[in-house]
């Protein structure tokens, strides 16, 4: 792929969000494409049946899409490998993981591979439209928001005032990996109950409800590196 040609393209109109997708389930791929094209100012410009197929088609495009939606499990070239390669070649490209279920280990791996958000495949169309707009405008979307206040925080309308203790920060580093909570407790030389306390405290401070949401917020705050 010609990096110079693809990276020096002129930006799209702020009124249009162009989208690429890769998913090996053709019916889902076509249905999602049709749905997204019905949203205001959204257009799917490339579809791939797996990561390599998407790469081949991106080569023939004059401009990169603004957002690329990647299925986690695909043949030939899966979601993690595709995200890693795209993030390395085009660090400004907004990559989004698509998943059938909220699997902590897999989704965190996709985030570490370069995705700025993850979306479940059974997401409501209204939330999908909101997510695409926030990803386009803010470069981030966390579906694990428990109230409107947290959504506002993602847009920096509220400051990040909840500080973490040194132990919570250490826990957070381990939590943004594939270690189980029991393994984290062993690494920290703490009881599992103590680690559970760190987890609940960080959940409360981050206003999230899951490990994936916690990891995404940690990445957004640049408390962990990917």
Which residues form the domain of 60?
Answer: 3-141
Angle value at C-alpha 55, between 11 and 105, nearest 5 degrees: 100
Same domain for 163 and 57:
no
Distance CA 188, CA 167 (A): 9
**123 and 34 in a common domain:** yes
Same-domain check for residues 44 and 122: yes
Report the pLDDT value the prediction gives residue 114, as an integer from 0 to 100: 87
Task: Based on the fold, state whether residues 207 and 180 are members of the same structural domain.
Answer: yes
Output the domain CATH number for residue 159: 1.10.10.10
- Residues sharing a CB contact under 8 Å with residue 210, sequence separation 6 or more, in sequence order: 102, 104, 144
Spatial neighbors of 186 by CB under 8 A, at least 6 apart, are none
Number of structural domains (the chain) is 2
* Nearest Cα residue to 112 out of 203, 178, 22: 178
Are residues 32 and 117 located together in one domain of the fold? yes
Domain boundary pick from 80, 115, 141: 141
Q: Are residues 21 and 116 in the same domain?
A: yes
The pLDDT assigned to 23 comes to 93
Residues 19 and 113 in one domain: yes
Per the DSSP assignment, residues forming a β-bridge with 111 are none
* Residues 100 and 187 grouped into a single domain: no
Distance from C-alpha of 41 to C-alpha of 46, rounded to nearest angstrom: 16
3-state secondary structure of 185: helix
pLDDT at position 66 is 95
Q: Same structural domain for residues 133 and 170?
A: no
The pTM score is: 0.70
What does the pLDDT look like over 160-174, one tens digit per residue?
556 889 999 999 999
User: How many alpha carbons fall within 13 Å on the CB side of residue 210?
Assistant: 15
User: What pLDDT digit, counting tens, does each position of 63-93 carry?
Assistant: 999 999 999 888 899 888 999 999 988 888 9
Per-residue buried b or exposed e for 27-48, using 16+ beta carbons within 10 Å of the residue's own CB: eebeebbeebeebeebebbbbb
How confident is the chain (226 residues) per 10-residue block, as mean pLDDT? 39 71 92 93 93 89 93 88 91 89 76 87 89 90 57 46 84 88 92 91 86 84 76
Same domain? 109 vs 153: no
3-state helix, strand, coil in the chain (%, to 5): 50, 15, 40
Q: Is the domain of 121 the same as that of 20?
A: yes
Chosen domain end from 141, 158, 184? 141
Instruction: For residue 22, count other CB atoms closer than 10 A to its CB.
Output: 28
Smallest CA-to-CA distance from 96 within 155, 17, 208, 153 is with: 17
What CATH number is associated with residue 24?
Answer: 3.40.50.2300
Q: Are 118 and 212 in contact (CB under 8 A)?
A: yes
For the chain, counts of helices (H) and of strands (E): 11, 5
pLDDT at 159: 44
Query: 104 with 35, same domain?
Result: yes
Domain boundary among 116, 141, 166: 141
pLDDT of residue 6: 38
């Amino acid at each position: 792929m010609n990096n110079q040609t693809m990276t020096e393209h002129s930006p799209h109109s702020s009124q249009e969000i162009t989208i690429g997708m890769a998913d090996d389930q053709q019916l889902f791929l076509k249905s999602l494409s049709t749905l997204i094209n019905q949203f205001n100012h959204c257009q799917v410009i490339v579809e791939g049946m797996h990561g390599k197929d998407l790469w081949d088609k991106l080569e023939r495009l004059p401009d990169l899409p603004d957002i690329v939606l990647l299925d986690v499990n695909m043949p030939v070239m899966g979601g993690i490998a595709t995200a890693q390669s795209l993030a390395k070649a085009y660090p400004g490209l907004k990559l989004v993981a698509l998943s059938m279920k909220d699997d902590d280990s897999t989704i965190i791996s996709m985030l570490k591979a370069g995705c700025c958000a993850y979306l479940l495949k059974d997401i409501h169309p209204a939330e999908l439209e909101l997510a695409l707009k926030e990803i386009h405008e803010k470069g981030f979307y966390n579906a694990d928001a428990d109230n409107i206040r947290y959504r506002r925080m993602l847009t920096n309308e509220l400051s990040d005032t909840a500080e973490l203790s040194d132990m919570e920060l250490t826990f957070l580093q381990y939590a943004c990996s594939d270690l189980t909570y029991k393994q984290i407790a062993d690494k920290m030389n703490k009881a599992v109950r103590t680690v559970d306390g760190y987890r609940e405290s960080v959940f409360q401070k981050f206003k999230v409800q899951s490990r994936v949401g916690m990891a995404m917020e940690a990445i957004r705050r640049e408390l962990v590196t990917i």
